[in-house]
Amino acid sequence: MADVAARAGVSRALVSIVFRNQQGASEETRRRVLQVADEIGYRPDSAARLLARGRSRTLGVMFAVQQTFHTNLIEGIYPEAERLGYDVLLSAAAPGRSEAKAVEALLSHRCEALIVLGSEAEAADLDALGRRAVTVSVSRRVRGARVDFVQSAEGKGVRQAMEHLVELGHRRIVHLDGGSGPGSAERRRAYRAAMRRHGLEEWARVIGGDHTEQSGIDAGRLLLAEREAGLVLPTAVLAGNDRSAMGLLMSLGRAGVEVPRDVSVVGYDDSHLSHLMPIGLTTVRQDAALMAEHAVRFAVERLEDPALEPREAVLEPKLVVRGTSGPPAVG
């Protein structure tokens, strides 16, 4: 600002008035100051001004770099944060970089609140984080933690998928599990409950996995090896998420198994991956934009009123039927 003032021939206080868009500078002076600032490449440091007032007005978002659904959530977080007057800072958990490191990076940059996407932290660690800073957990709920929660109704989404498959005539329906991933336990319970409700317990089977393409590839190889050994393929697989569903489709396709004629496949999330195939993936849609809006609002509202108790938003999922599900082959 001192450089701008000297070059424009005005006081530093007048430069400050111009940049804060306050009254006290003529239009000619305002134009000259802004022109000089542009010529020398000066930009007001809004972050420094906010920190000087004790606020950063920045929301930190921790996400898993390999989870495609998290990009859908981030796309929704930015516009809602901007609408409420907040910036967004991202920090990724990745192979070789733990979730704890990603979170600490956000706190070190003075983020006022944290939005953690699909956290796999221990329950006690998530609760401790919520007591250090305003925290919203998306897609992961921990009972009793001092954290706001936003998630979809996992059980309802699985029930919709299972009703769809049963109505098509499927009986040998396998669930490809998401392991310890967010929402996996609820999806697993809902699958087993649906098989019992439809009298299909004898065909109920959960294949261990996680929320990666490799998990789906491995599950496909297992089923194909069993077929070689004389066992019958399931007629349908409910995958733990879209990524594992994609891996399963790749594995089955390479072996000449036709989807959905031989095996129907249903995913979960409706991430952008579900649209990138020759035949679209039937999947359960989580409303990423609405989840993101709730997460940002929860964070901002607790910043404005720290006395608010933690809240929870449970949003409705919706089955999206595309090309990977159909009636089982006769015989």
Kindly tell me the burial class for residue 120, based on how many C-beta atoms sit within 10 Å of its own C-beta (0-12, 13-18, 19 or more).
middle
Please name the amino acid found at residue 313.
A
**What span, in angstroms and rounded, lies between the C-alpha atoms of 30 and 161?**
61
Q: What is the pLDDT of residue 66?
A: 86
Q: What is the pLDDT of residue 52?
A: 53
**What span, in angstroms and rounded, lies between the C-alpha atoms of 284 and 159?**
10
Q: What is the pLDDT of residue 53?
A: 52
Q: Which two tokens stand for residue 247?
A: 């891996």
User: How far, CA to CA in Å, does 2 sit from each of 7, 12, 15, 46, 272?
Assistant: 9, 6, 8, 17, 49
**What span, in angstroms and rounded, lies between the C-alpha atoms of 54 and 45?**
15
pLDDT category of residue 56 using cuts at 50, 70 and 90: confident
**What span, in angstroms and rounded, lies between the C-alpha atoms of 64 and 66?**
6
Alpha helices in 169-259 (DSSP H): 184-197, 213-228, 242-254
pLDDT tens column, 224-240: 999 999 999 999 999 99
pTM for this predicted structure: 0.80
**What span, in angstroms and rounded, lies between the C-alpha atoms of 95 and 261?**
37
- By C-alpha distance, which of 39, 49, 78 is closest to 61? 78
Kindly tell me the burial class for residue 23, based on how many C-beta atoms sit within 10 Å of its own C-beta (0-12, 13-18, 19 or more).
exposed
CA 25 to chain centre: 47
DSSP symbol at 56: -
pLDDT tens column, 252-293: 999 999 999 999 999 999 988 788 777 899 999 999 999 999
